[in-house]
């Protein structure tokens, strides 16, 4: 027994030494690619959901530094104002404002859009960034399971309500923040809201697959409008997203060296929002500022169309 403990301790020591010796190389690899575009966004308007922290805040900082008017759509307005103040401090003359938006409540989404359309004349960039991950079983104000309700249906409705303004502001872009987790997701049409059984990880994966399918179907429907839409995998990022999972929080703490910072995680969102070479690219998936592989279930056109129809039915809208 003592011999085994010595061997384990020695092995852990070797691993720790290797990690220390190669820490710079590991961090460089984990950081991923950087958005190299120098495009300016003067006179452009960008809307980012969930921009009070994490990659949303860093994406807002990036776009504001390019001269865009950036609107932070946040459930927690107080935290949103703190983020806006930080951005203004870091970027002289930054045009940043905060508006309340709760993606778990369709009444809040409709009220947000109504005010937005009344007060904002153009929208050139919409980044559907907000998300929830591995939370206990909860329902939105409208009775949707929280993952599919916030991550997919909330953004689906928001995009529907703003699509006319995006078309009138063209060329414009929509960026949908998905995840590598879509590879492990399946759309459970027979139990979309996990009422029969619930697994927080699988519910999250289903919602991220829904993001990819929504992107592909929306791109098809927007063909010829000069409005593009692409989805992104930001990477595995140190953020508040894992706050609902003790196990994930512990793993993230142990393997923090292998995780991206929020700034690093925001690079692909910024890339899809500003890169000149993507002006006419739509319906694609990106990671590390480059095209990324989509799981077979994320490329199924029949599933994408069915999810679109089901989403419209659940939200009580008609979107042809």
| Domain assignment of residue 154, yes or no | yes
User: How many domains are there within the chain?
Assistant: 1
The pLDDT, as a whole number, for residue 15 is: 46
Closest CA to 257 of 31, 33, 50: 31
| Domain assignment of residue 83, yes or no | yes
Distance CA 63, CA 158 (A): 21
Beta-sheet strands, E only, within 234-302 = 285-287, 290-291
β-partners of residue 232 are 177, 286
The pLDDT, as a whole number, for residue 16 is: 45
Cis before residue 71, ω within 30 degrees of 0?
no
Instruction: Please report which helix (H) or strand (E) contains residue 147, including its range.
Output: helix 146-147
Closest CA to 215 of 290, 294, 274: 294
- Residue 277 belongs to domain spanning: 37-315
Strand, helix or coil for residue 36 = coil
User: What CATH number is given to the structural domain containing 147?
Assistant: 3.40.50.720
Distance CA 15, CA 32 (A): 23
29 is catalytic: no
pLDDT tens, position by position, 120-173: 999 999 999 999 998 999 999 999 999 999 999 999 999 999 999 999 999 999
3 token code pair? 């011999």
Checking DSSP bridges between strand 95-100 and strand 172-177, what pairing results, if any? unpaired
**Sign of CA pseudo-dihedral 240, 244, 246, 248:** negative
| Domain assignment of residue 29, yes or no | no
| Domain assignment of residue 191, yes or no | yes
Please state the separation of Cα 207 from the chain's center in Å: 11
| Domain assignment of residue 6, yes or no | no
The pLDDT, as a whole number, for residue 165 is: 98
| Domain assignment of residue 130, yes or no | yes
Query: What angle is formed at CA 213 by the lines to CA 209 and CA 216, rounded to 5 degrees?
Result: 140
- Tens-digit pLDDT profile for the chain (320 aa)? 555 554 454 554 554 455 456 554 544 445 578 999 999 999 999 999 999 999 999 999 999 999 999 999 999 999 999 999 999 999 999 999 999 999 999 999 999 999 999 999 999 999 999 999 989 999 999 999 999 999 999 999 999 999 999 999 999 999 999 999 999 999 999 999 999 999 999 999 999 999 999 999 999 999 999 999 999 999 876 555 555 555 555 555 545 556 789 999 999 999 999 999 999 999 999 999 999 999 999 999 999 999 999 999 999 999 98
| Domain assignment of residue 12, yes or no | no
Strand, helix or coil for residue 46 = strand
Which of 29, 160, 198, 204 is flagged as catalytic?
204
| Domain assignment of residue 283, yes or no | yes
Distance CA 172, CA 103 (A): 22
Checking DSSP bridges between strand 290-291 and strand 285-287, what pairing results, if any? antiparallel
């Amino acid at each position: 027994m003592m011999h085994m403990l010595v061997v384990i301790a020695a092995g852990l020591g070797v691993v720790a030494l290797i990690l220390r010796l190669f820490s710079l190389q590991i961090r460089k690899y984990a950081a991923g690619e950087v958005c190299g575009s120098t495009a300016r966004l003067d006179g452009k308007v960008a809307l980012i959901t969930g921009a009070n922290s994490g990659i949303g805040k860093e994406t807002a900082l990036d776009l504001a530094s390019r001269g865009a008017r950036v609107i932070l759509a946040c459930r927690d307005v107080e935290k949103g104002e703190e983020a806006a103040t930080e951005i203004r401090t870091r970027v002289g003359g930054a045009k940043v404002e905060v508006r309340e938006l709760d993606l778990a409540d369709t009444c809040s989404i409709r009220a947000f859009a109504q005010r937005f359309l009344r007060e904002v004349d153009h929208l050139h960039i919409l980044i559907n960034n907000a998300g929830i991950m591995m939370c206990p079983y909860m329902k939105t104000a409208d009775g949707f399971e929280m993952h599919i309700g916030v991550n997919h249906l909330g953004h689906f409705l928001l995009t529907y309500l703003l699509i006319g303004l995006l078309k009138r502001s063209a060329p414009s872009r929509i960026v949908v923040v998905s995840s590598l987790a879509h590879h492990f997701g399946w759309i459970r049409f027979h139990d979309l809201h996990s009422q029969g059984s619930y697994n927080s990880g699988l519910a999250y994966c289903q919602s991220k697959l829904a993001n990819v399918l929504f992107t592909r179907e929306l791109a098809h429907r927007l063909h010829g409008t000069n409005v593009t839409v692409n989805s992104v995998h930001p990477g595995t990022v140190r953020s508040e997203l894992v706050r609902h999972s003790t196990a994930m929080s512990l793993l993230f703490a142990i393997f923090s060296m292998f995780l991206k910072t929020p700034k690093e995680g925001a690079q692909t969102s910024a890339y899809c929002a500003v890169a000149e070479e993507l002006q006419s690219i739509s319906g694609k998936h990106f990671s590390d500022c480059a095209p990324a592989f989509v799981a077979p279930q994320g490329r199924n056109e029949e599933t994408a169309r069915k999810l679109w129809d089901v989403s419209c039915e659940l939200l009580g809208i008609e979107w042809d």
